[in-house]
Amino acid sequence: MAFDPVLAEIRFGTGLSAQRSLPNGSEDLLRRLSGPDTAAQTYPIPSLFGEGGVEVRLYNELLRARNKARGTKDEEAARKELVAQRRKMKKTEMRNARNILLRGIMSEDGFRERLVWFWSDHFTIGPRNQQLRANLASYAEDAIRPNVAGRFADLLWAAEIHPIMQVYLDQQRNFGPNSVAAQKSKKQLGLNENLAREMLELHTLGVGGGYSQADVTGLAGLLTGLQIEKFTQTVFKARTAEPGPFMILGQYWGGETKTREADLRAFIEALAVNPVTLRHLARKLAVYFVADMPDEGLVEHMASALIGSNGDLMAGYRAMIEHPAAWDPAPSNVKPPLDFVVSACRALDVHPAMIERMKDGNVQSKFLVPMSLMGQSWMNPGGPDGLPEADDRWVSPQGLAERIQWSMTAPQALLTRLPDPRDFVVTALADRAPETVKFAAKAAETEWEGVGLILSSPAFQRR
């Protein structure tokens, strides 16, 4: 089966839009991905290493000041300053949510947005404290987005050492039991294996990938020394590092603590090009983009490309979109809630100003709350294993009911005038619209009913 521009925008992008040009071939799809990231430039999200970090550090300072002022005449003033900063950070959180939605809705490069969503879920993070919650979106901005079309080794390193990942998986509690810090501390300090376990089980080798509990413990030891400063910077502190070496996956890694950071980077490089890792990634990409039970030939073709290129992600993407199984015209994966609402807004041609000017409460009620009811809580995946992969997890009775409810009500709130359903069915589904959906569009008594029926149809809900 050959490249299909309509299917490319539905299956590998963020949905059809009358205002966006379709990719004219596999090379065009890849060219857009490797080109300038115009969506990020148009709808910026602050980095934790920049503006976002300034907010976090100021919050910490005000929190300490409030705690210090308890029981004094300055307590009320300190409390008000902290509350004002908390409100400011909440606005940042909602602005980031708007811009993530707008990137998907307005992008000419939907494949990039989908890859950012995929890798952000693969390297799942979530809220662990008030300080970082408002700036969780900066994680993908700093670690995922710049590396999405590069080497997996660079992506893996950036994701694992980012402060938000370090905090999420409790790396700040990982101390070498025989480190200088542990010897001098009155508290009992020891290994915390959370980051090490998820790095092997979820991020690289996968469940059943041939590692043991001893490998997890060894990697936790190698990771000691990485610490967080002010929630915004990952630093290496030799005094907290466990003396090495550590046996991991049949090889010793790490020696003196003074070379630990370089030793850890060398291990990450080796883990990233491990054939078991790359086969695991190939399957996950195929499941996400193509089908819950992907064609084994497709998976093997992608794995071979990744292994042969030492983890060049573009080689894996190219292998995926050039394989005939990727273009099976039968609708397959159910769109997760974010994908669904973004693709609906693209089809509806929602004006960006509508979302840019939307009050925070309306962003919550029109997008974030409905998505949560559909099964995808905003920036809160519920666990380090991320969002469900199986389609049946997205089609629960409550999830389906909310999708139908949103389809019937949201378009009226987002548009000043609804499109004619007979035209909209072509915009939303092009030549993939089944006759039953075309008939429903023609037979609808009102525009809102016809548009809602199209958006809630299985044809639109699946890729």
Please check whether residues 341 and 457 belong to one and the same domain: yes
Residue at 298 is within a domain:
no
Q: Do 168 and 279 contact (CB within 8 A), yes or no?
A: no
Q: Average pLDDT for residues 131-141, to the nearest whole number?
A: 94
Q: Average pLDDT for residues 17-46, to the nearest whole number?
A: 96
Residue at 293 is within a domain:
no
Does the structure show a pLDDT above 90 at 460?
yes
Q: Do 82 and 62 contact (CB within 8 A), yes or no?
A: yes
pLDDT for position 128: 82
pLDDT tens by residue, 138-177: 999 999 999 999 999 999 999 999 999 999 999 999 999 9
Does the structure show a pLDDT above 80 at 1?
no
Please check whether residues 419 and 345 belong to one and the same domain: yes
Please check whether residues 144 and 185 belong to one and the same domain: no
Please check whether residues 179 and 141 belong to one and the same domain: no
Q: Average pLDDT for residues 197-223, to the nearest whole number?
A: 97
pLDDT for position 154: 98
pLDDT for position 131: 85
pTM across the whole model: 0.97
Give dist(CA 375, CA 368) in Å, integer.
Answer: 11
pLDDT tens by residue, 290-307: 999 999 999 999 999 999
Helix (H, G, I), strand (E, B) or coil at 137: helix
Please check whether residues 141 and 45 belong to one and the same domain: yes
Please check whether residues 224 and 119 belong to one and the same domain: no
Q: Average pLDDT for residues 421-450, to the nearest whole number?
A: 96
Task: Indicate the number of domains in the chain.
Answer: 3
Please check whether residues 63 and 110 belong to one and the same domain: yes
The pLDDT-based confidence of 130 (bands split at 50, 70, 90) is confident
C-alpha distances in Å from residue 182, one per residue of 153, 175, 191, 254: 31, 7, 11, 19
Over the chain, what is the mean pLDDT? 96
Domain limit, last residue, from 225, 244, 272:
272
pLDDT tens by residue, 32-65: 999 999 999 999 999 999 999 999 999 999 999 9
Domain limit, last residue, from 255, 272, 289:
272
Strands 251-253 and 246-248: antiparallel
Please check whether residues 143 and 229 belong to one and the same domain: no
Q: How many Å separate Cα 224 from the centre of its chain?
A: 26
Give dist(CA 239, CA 313) in Å, integer.
Answer: 36
Please check whether residues 413 and 447 belong to one and the same domain: yes
Residue at 104 is within a domain:
yes
Give dist(CA 352, CA 120) in Å, integer.
Answer: 24
Give dist(CA 452, CA 403) in Å, integer.
Answer: 10
Give dist(CA 421, CA 428) in Å, integer.
Answer: 10
pLDDT for position 186: 86
pLDDT for position 302: 98
Q: Average pLDDT for residues 420-443, to the nearest whole number?
A: 97
The pLDDT-based confidence of 257 (bands split at 50, 70, 90) is confident
φ/ψ of 183, rounded to 5, equals -65, -30
pLDDT tens by residue, 334-361: 999 999 999 999 999 999 999 999 999 9
Sign of the torsion angle spanned by Cα atoms 83, 89, 91, 94: negative
* Contact partners, residue 335, CB within 8 Å, separation at least 6: 343, 394, 461, 462, 463
pLDDT tens by residue, 358-368: 999 999 999 99
Residue at 296 is within a domain:
no
Helix (H, G, I), strand (E, B) or coil at 145: helix
Domain limit, last residue, from 272, 287, 317:
272
Among the listed residues 140, 148, 77, the one whose alpha carbon sits nearest the alpha carbon of residue 112: 148
Give dist(CA 30, CA 318) in Å, integer.
Answer: 7
- Domain range for 119 is 33-148
Does the structure show a pLDDT above 80 at 14?
yes
DSSP letter assigned to residue 328: -
Please check whether residues 451 and 348 belong to one and the same domain: yes
Please check whether residues 185 and 262 belong to one and the same domain: yes
| Half-sphere CA count of 31, side-chain side, radius 13 A | 7
Residue at 323 is within a domain:
no
The pLDDT-based confidence of 207 (bands split at 50, 70, 90) is very high
Give the CA dihedral 159, 163, 164, 167, nearest 10 degrees.
120
Does the structure show a pLDDT above 90 at 229?
yes
Please check whether residues 257 and 191 belong to one and the same domain: yes
Residue at 226 is within a domain:
yes
* Contact partners, residue 231, CB within 8 Å, separation at least 6: 56, 57, 60, 129, 131, 132, 163, 167
Helix (H, G, I), strand (E, B) or coil at 235: strand
Residue at 330 is within a domain:
no
Which residues is 253 bridged to in the sheet?
Answer: 246
